[in-house]
Structure 1
Amino acid sequence: MDSRKALDGRAVGLMLVLCVIWGMQQVVLKATAGDISPVMQIALRSGVAALLVGLLMLARGERMSRADGTWRPGVVVGLLFGLEFMLVGEGLRHTSASHMVVFLYTAPIFAALGLHWRLPAERLGALQWVGIFLAFAGIAIAFFGRTQSTSPAPVNMLWGDFLGLLAAIAWGATTVVVRSSALARAPATQTLLYQLVGAFVLLTGMAWLTGQASVNFTPAVWASLAFHTLVVSFASFLVWFWLLRQYLASRLGVFTFLTPLFGIVFGAWLLAERIEPSFLVGAVPVMIGIVLVSGHGWVAQQLGRLGKRKVIDSL
């Protein structure tokens, strides 16, 4: 029997805070890109956060063993996590933070498609297929609806948007590997450690090979590194994993659309990013699609209640 429960006030409050944090992270990366490249910043935050997670595991007495069957999928998710943020870091050099956060958070769509193929228990329902259709329609509008007059550098921005979409596919693939391997039974800290170490190794190498390793340590850069290391990569991920163990995932998934929404607002407010009408029109079905795919159980329940209420009112 599933012991996880429906959302209460604490869960709602924590999810709102998490969505604000995740919506802000691309904006902060973009804001400090002149002093530290996004790739190098993500590498540094991953390395320090990996050290913190390792210390937490040591304090809890958690041990990693090759005998539990997690190291092979652990290496894979580490590489996928690193690839995801390598694409994010490179994409932010070409597109806006608001674009990146919307395309990156299409990851649940690709995760749902992969899990549908891999696990019989994760077969997609009718509402989820509707959500996937809406999300891809929104992506098409956001990509191909813009004109020369709505973007100062449409080719570069399209390339950055495309990298954001590839990052979402890498994130979705990470979810599939975790859910369909021994990592599904491993402690959350162990999975997170694999991801952080993989990102640190891959992104540090990329930063040095591409000449993006130089850092101008300004107060803004120090603040950004502290935010990304302590708040994003360490605290927020651990809180998210805790929520998944305590509450129904379908209820938590309903909040997913708030992250790209916050990203758009923060990008326009803090970075003065221009939001093209075509992108905004495309973002709406994308976010609706994310809700239908991630929170389909809750949506179906609400639709069922609405239908019953209409029947009762008609009597």
Structure 2
Amino acid sequence: MKGQFRYYLILFISCVIWGLTPICGRVLKDCMSPMLITGARFYLVALVLFSLIVLLEGKKGLYLSRHDFFVLLLMGFVGIFLHNSLLFEALRFTPASNAALIESIGPSITSTLAFFVIGERLSRIGWLGIFISCFGAGYIVCKGSLDTLLHFQINIGELIIIVCEAMWSCYVVISWKLSKNVNALAVTAWTGLFGAIFCTITGFAFNELQVYSITRTYIIAFLVLSLLTGVVAFVFWNYAITKVGASKGGTFVYLIPVFGAVFGVVLLGEDFSSKEFIGALIVVVGMIISVKAKLSVRPSSGSVAQIKQSLIEKERAQIHHGKDV
């Protein structure tokens, strides 16, 4: 255990960094349009990661089969273009702390989607965990008031966050179609590049590539969002997770929404009510129950180990989180 402490510390640091993702997005909303934030961020992420791949593996590390190319293209569309654009759009309407807490519902959405798409079956305890997690997210969105729901006085940004997480869940499920020849660095680099290209095309078509203002604060926030959360935390995580194992290391992802909420309060001065704390606690409890529940799959589906590994990969970020990567 003592020998592995450094790796647990690296995982902890990765989660702290990923907790900054919604904070940076909230800051950058006054700097540039959501489409430009996403596109510029992932062009930079892709450039750095492709350079790392060539440095570590040579040009052969850039090779993709035709099948993997189209899978990664689709992943880039839903997981980078849609997920991140929606996230940064949502942060124009809702506090970063709320966004971080609601994002924690992601693994439960992934489990539900996996049931319908690849035949993953959860035990009753697992479905109970999903229900609890969804209830917690709803509690946050409604501010603990049924009257808010009945009169539809819901923050549109918080609804967008839920759709945003559904897109990331699609990204995870689609990723199970990739061959084993594509490593984690290549997946992030290629999906980042494809997602950035989609952002560029859409941005030009709808005049959404806009810069509102540039200051030192905005530049720092962009570099943190791109290099720290998109590259450094990702490399740290993948290095440490190979040392301690996915099952043990994966539990650290439960810290990401907590750090996101704390940073929102400390760095941005956002309010954090007791109702939001209760909702966050409910979401985390439900998420832990659903992810740890016993899995079974149809014969045609991927192995249980593959599904558990994919769920753990989802929980951390937010690559892009972190989720984002």
TM interval, shorter chain, is: 0.7 to 0.9
Q: Which residue of 1 aligns with 2:67?
A: 69
Which residue type is aligned with residue 36 of structure 1?
M
Match 1:214 to one of 180, 193, 211: 211
**Structure 1 residue 169: Cα displacement:** 0.8
Q: Equivalents in 1 of 2:99, 2:116: separation in Å?
A: 27
1:252 aligns with 2:240: no
**Structure 1 residue 9: Cα displacement:** 1.4
Q: Equivalents in 2 of 1:183, 1:239: separation in Å?
A: 24
Q: Equivalents in 1 of 2:237, 2:132: separation in Å?
A: 26
Equivalent runs, 1:19-30 vs 2, <5 Å: 19-30=15-26
Q: Which residue of 2 aligns with 1:263?
A: 260
Q: Which residue of 1 aligns with 2:269?
A: 272
Q: Equivalents in 2 of 1:185, 1:65: separation in Å?
A: 9
Q: Which runs of 5+ in 1 are unaligned?
A: 298-315
Deviations along 1:9-67, whole A, 9 cap, x unmatched? 13321221111111111112212322234442232111011111111222221334453
1:138 aligns with 2:148: no
Task: Name the structure where helix makes up a greater proportion of residues.
Answer: 1
Deviations along 1:265-303, whole A, 9 cap, x unmatched? 111111111224433322211111222233458xxxxxx
1:58 aligns with 2:54: yes
Which residue type is aligned with residue 50 of structure 1?
A
Q: Which residue of 1 aligns with 2:304?
A: none
**Structure 1 residue 185: Cα displacement:** 4.4
Deviates more, 1:46-55 or 1:221-230: 221-230
1:80 aligns with 2:78: yes
Q: Equivalents in 2 of 1:40, 1:176: separation in Å?
A: 27
**Structure 1 residue 126: Cα displacement:** 4.2
**Structure 1 residue 215: Cα displacement:** 4.6
Q: Which residue of 1 aligns with 2:286?
A: 289
Deviations along 1:237-260, whole A, 9 cap, x unmatched? 233334444443232232222111
Q: Equivalents in 2 of 1:220, 1:291: separation in Å?
A: 36
Aligned CA distance change for structure 1 residues 158 and 102 (closer, same or farther; 3 Å): same
Number of corresponding residues: 286
Match 2:237 to one of 227, 236, 240: 240
**Structure 1 residue 94: Cα displacement:** 0.8
Runs of 4+ in 1 over 6 A off after TM superposition: none
Q: CA RMSD in A?
A: 2.7
Q: Equivalents in 2 of 1:49, 1:12: separation in Å?
A: 25
1:197 aligns with 2:196: no
Q: Which residue of 2 aligns with 1:305?
A: none
Aligned CA distance change for structure 1 residues 285 and 66 (closer, same or farther; 3 Å): same
Aligned CA distance change for structure 1 residues 184 and 103 (closer, same or farther; 3 Å): farther
Deviates more, 1:52-61 or 1:72-81: 52-61
Deviates more, 1:126-135 or 1:241-250: 241-250
Q: Secondary structure at the match of 1:36?
A: coil
C-alpha contact (below 8 Å) 1:254/1:294 kept by paired residues: no
Deviates more, 1:270-279 or 1:72-81: 270-279
- Percentage of matched positions with identical amino acids: 21
Q: Equivalents in 1 of 2:19, 2:267: separation in Å?
A: 12
Aligned CA distance change for structure 1 residues 132 and 147 (closer, same or farther; 3 Å): closer
C-alpha contact (below 8 Å) 2:43/2:196 kept by paired residues: yes
Match 2:171 to one of 166, 174, 180: 174
**Structure 1 residue 147: Cα displacement:** 5.6
Q: Which runs of 5+ in 2 are unaligned?
A: 295-325
Aligned CA distance change for structure 1 residues 65 and 83 (closer, same or farther; 3 Å): same
Q: Which residue of 2 aligns with 1:102?
A: 101
Q: Secondary structure at the match of 2:166?
A: helix
C-alpha contact (below 8 Å) 1:255/1:291 kept by paired residues: no
Aligned CA distance change for structure 1 residues 160 and 284 (closer, same or farther; 3 Å): same
Deviates more, 1:199-208 or 1:86-95: 199-208
C-alpha contact (below 8 Å) 1:49/1:230 kept by paired residues: yes
Q: Mark the structure with the bigger radius of gyration.
A: 1
Which residue type is aligned with residue 248 of structure 1?
G
